């Protein structure tokens, strides 16, 4: 299993500004496309840390993407996600497919990169160079984590991975946003867990394409399966929509794994036959563009606030009744509006 240590001697002497070939394309991109794992790890690090040149790199990779099948795995802590992901990766490798795994932890802004525990949980694939595993953390910025995850998926896709698995630690709103990057989403639910079933009603039920009752050898599994199927039957669906499947697994024993792979494959075929895969891709790109625009516009507005004396100064003026929040907002946005108006004026 390959991680961020890569397959080449570490070279820390070359700064980012020199990572270019004579043709102007980032050299890291050339190395990644050439199949060098160390370059892939460095690109994902740049993406996660939002380094200065990461946008140029992701832009250069875009034309080489669109080939991988992306699977999202989410669910409550303790449902056995890491074990299942490990076994899924091994099963795909047995089929001769290459695999990339991104384990996402939105709750921890302090952990960075892969940790020993994650590598241990991927024990079935240790030493396999065609399984690339990477942990990603929020690094203090929850809002941009779904974008960073999507960019990391692009890097793995351009690298040539056949299957990309995104695993999230929990099942809250941040995790829901992250797994929207996937083509197929599996939600894991432990057996005999009423609280988890109730949690699904809060929203994550809507994003699941496959529901997995893992640890199905424990008491209460049958009840959990019945409750899940009942809830899915009550869910509003389009006439030609996908009918979510419920699969029972015992990941530690690889039981039910074949049925789960079949469910993933069936959903992939449905995506292709109905044109839903392209529609999901269109929606993802539309949301990505909106998010990037919001980030860029926010940065520009923050600069304008500083030019006007900073937020404290503006708030002081509002408190002193010299102005009001709406007027302040109008004044801060005005330069942007003038730029757009000027750009649209006929020559």
Orientation of helix 145-159 relative to helix 37-49, angle to 10°: 160
Helices (H) and strands (E) in the chain, counts: 13, 7
308 pLDDT exceeds 90? yes
Token pair belonging to 89: 């990766």
The reported pLDDT for the residue numbered 206 is 79
208 pLDDT exceeds 60? yes
Token pair belonging to 166: 């995104």
Relative to beta strand 163-168, strand 131-137 is unpaired
Which residue ranges form the domains of the chain, and what is each CATH number?
A: 65-273 (3.40.50.300), 283-344 (no CATH)
Give the global pTM: 0.83
Q: What kind and span of H or E run contains 104? A: strand 99-105
Sign of CA dihedral 78, 80, 81, 83: positive
318 pLDDT exceeds 80? yes
138 pLDDT exceeds 80? no
Distances (CA, A) of 46 to 38, 41, 58, 136, 248: 12, 9, 10, 12, 38
Determine the Cα angle at 253 with ends 250 and 257, to 5°. Answer: 60
Lowest mean pLDDT among 100-109, 216-225, 259-268, 298-307: 100-109
């Amino acid at each position: 299993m390959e991680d961020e240590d890569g397959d080449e001697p570490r070279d820390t002497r070359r700064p980012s500004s020199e990572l270019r070939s004579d043709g102007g394309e980032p050299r890291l991109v050339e190395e990644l496309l050439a199949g060098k794992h160390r370059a892939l790890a460095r690109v994902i690090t740049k993406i996660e840390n939002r380094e200065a040149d990461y946008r140029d790199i992701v832009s250069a990779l875009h034309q080489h993407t669109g080939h991988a099948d992306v699977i999202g795995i989410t669910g409550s802590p303790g449902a056995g996600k890491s074990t299942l992901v490990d076994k899924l990766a091994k099963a795909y490798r047995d089929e001769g497919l290459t695999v990339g795994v991104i384990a996402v932890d939105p709750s921890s802004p302090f952990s960075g990169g892969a940790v020993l525990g994650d590598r241990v949980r991927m024990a079935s694939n240790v030493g396999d160079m065609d399984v690339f595993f990477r942990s990603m953390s929020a690094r203090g910025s929850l809002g941009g984590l779904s974008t960073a995850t999507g960019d990391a998926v692009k890097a793995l896709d351009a690298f040539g991975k056949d299957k990309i698995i995104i695993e999230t630690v929990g099942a809250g709103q941040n995790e829901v946003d992250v797994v929207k990057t996937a083509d197929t989403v599996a939600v894991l639910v432990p057996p005999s867990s009423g609280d988890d079933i109730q949690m699904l009603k809060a929203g994550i039920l809507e994003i699941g394409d496959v529901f997995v009752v893992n640890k199905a050898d424990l008491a209460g599994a049958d009840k959990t399966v019945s409750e899940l199927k009942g809830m899915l039957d009550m869910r509003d669906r389009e006439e030609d929509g996908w009918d979510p499947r419920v699969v029972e697994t015992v990941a530690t024993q690889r039981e039910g794994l074949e049925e789960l792979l079949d469910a993933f494959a069936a959903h992939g075929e449905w995506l292709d036959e109905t044109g839903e895969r392209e529609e999901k891709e269109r929606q993802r790109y539309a949301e990505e563009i909106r998010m990037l625009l919001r980030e860029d516009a926010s940065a520009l507005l923050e600069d304008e606030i500083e030019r006007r004396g900073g937020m404290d100064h503006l708030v002081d003026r509002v408190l002193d009744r010299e102005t009001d929040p709406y007027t302040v907002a109008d004044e801060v946005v005005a330069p942007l509006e003038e730029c757009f108006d000027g750009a649209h004026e006929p020559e």
